[in-house]
């Protein structure tokens, strides 16, 4: 919120060609469930809808939610959620994230989606390049992190002050809920103690 109690709705929207490129490089499968966190006017949501089984587009700005809902009403694979991306419940099963969230809450987004109760498999997040480099040298627990596609300031309307990059987070092993029970070693069953 700003000092006068009104939220500031800054938004650096991705140009369509860049959104397409980022979604293509995410290597989605048609079985994937994908979250677009901070969907705005749907720059990423549209190409995601063409590639994934289901897309959940989360946006807090009421006007953008209305526009997005109207624009994507015929896209059966897309659900538009009006809510705070730091509070909406995460899916119970495996999911992916492809998003260009507000940079001011970029670290909070990473903490949330890589937290212990999350079944995130992979995230492709557009963030300031310096932040992406920091995660690449110190990934969140349980994930690998790498610097993906370079995204110049000219890829956005309006352009942000610095260049950006895609942070690619991949889970090191299957998410806890999806993990199989460990196989019991063969051998004699221990008797009562």
Ligand X SMILES: C[S@@+](CC[C@H](N)C(=O)[O-])C[C@H]1O[C@@H](n2cnc3c(N)ncnc32)[C@H](O)[C@@H]1O
Q: Which residues bind ligand X (CB under 6 A)?
A: 9, 11-14, 38-40, 43-44, 58-61, 64, 84-86, 100-102
Q: How far is the CB of 12 from ligand X (least distance, A)?
A: 5
Query: 54 or 82: whose CB is closer to ligand X?
Result: 82
Q: How far is the CB of 153 from ligand X (least distance, A)?
A: 13
The closest alpha carbon to 53, from 85, 76, 81, 72, belongs to: 76
Contact 56, 81 (CB under 8 A): yes
CA dihedral 63, 45, 125, 156 (to 10 degrees): -70
Q: Which 3 state secondary structure label does DSSP give 62?
A: helix
Q: Is 14 annotated as a binding residue?
A: yes
Give 34 or 171: the residue with its C-beta nearer to ligand X: 34
Q: Distances in Å between the alpha carbon of 61 and those of 23, 26, 38?
A: 23, 26, 9
Q: Shortest gap between Cβ of 11 and ligand X (angstroms)?
A: 4
Q: Annotated binding residue at 38?
A: yes
Whole-angstrom distance, CA of residue 128 vs CA of residue 133: 9
For ligand X, give the closer residue by CB, 51 or 171: 51
Residue number, 8 or 53, with CB nearest to ligand X = 8
Q: How far is the CB of 157 from ligand X (least distance, A)?
A: 8
3-state secondary structure of 167: strand
- Residues tagged in the binding site annotation for S-adenosyl-L-methionine: 12, 14, 38, 59, 84, 100
């Amino acid at each position: 919120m700003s000092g006068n109690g009104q939220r500031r709705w800054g938004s650096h929207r991705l140009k369509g060609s860049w959104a397409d490129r980022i979604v293509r490089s995410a290597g989605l499968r048609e079985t994937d469930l994908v979250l677009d966190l901070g969907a705005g006017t749907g720059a990423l949501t549209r190409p995601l809808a063409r590639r994934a089984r289901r897309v959940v587009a989360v946006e807090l700005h009421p006007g953008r939610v209305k526009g997005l809902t109207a624009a994507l009403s015929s896209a059966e694979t897309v659900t538009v959620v009006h809510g705070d991306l730091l509070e909406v419940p995460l899916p119970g099963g495996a999911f992916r994230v492809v998003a260009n969230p507000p940079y001011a809450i970029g670290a909070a987004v990473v903490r949330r989606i890589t937290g212990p109760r999350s079944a995130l498999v992979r995230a492709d997040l557009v963030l300031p390049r310096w932040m992406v480099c920091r995660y690449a040298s110190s990934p969140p627990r349980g994930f690998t992190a790498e610097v993906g596609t370079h995204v110049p300031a000219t890829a956005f309307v309006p352009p942000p002050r610095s260049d950006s990059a895609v942070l690619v987070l991949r889970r090191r092993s299957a998410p806890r809920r999806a993990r199989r029970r460990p196989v019991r070693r063969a051998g004699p069953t221990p008797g009562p103690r």
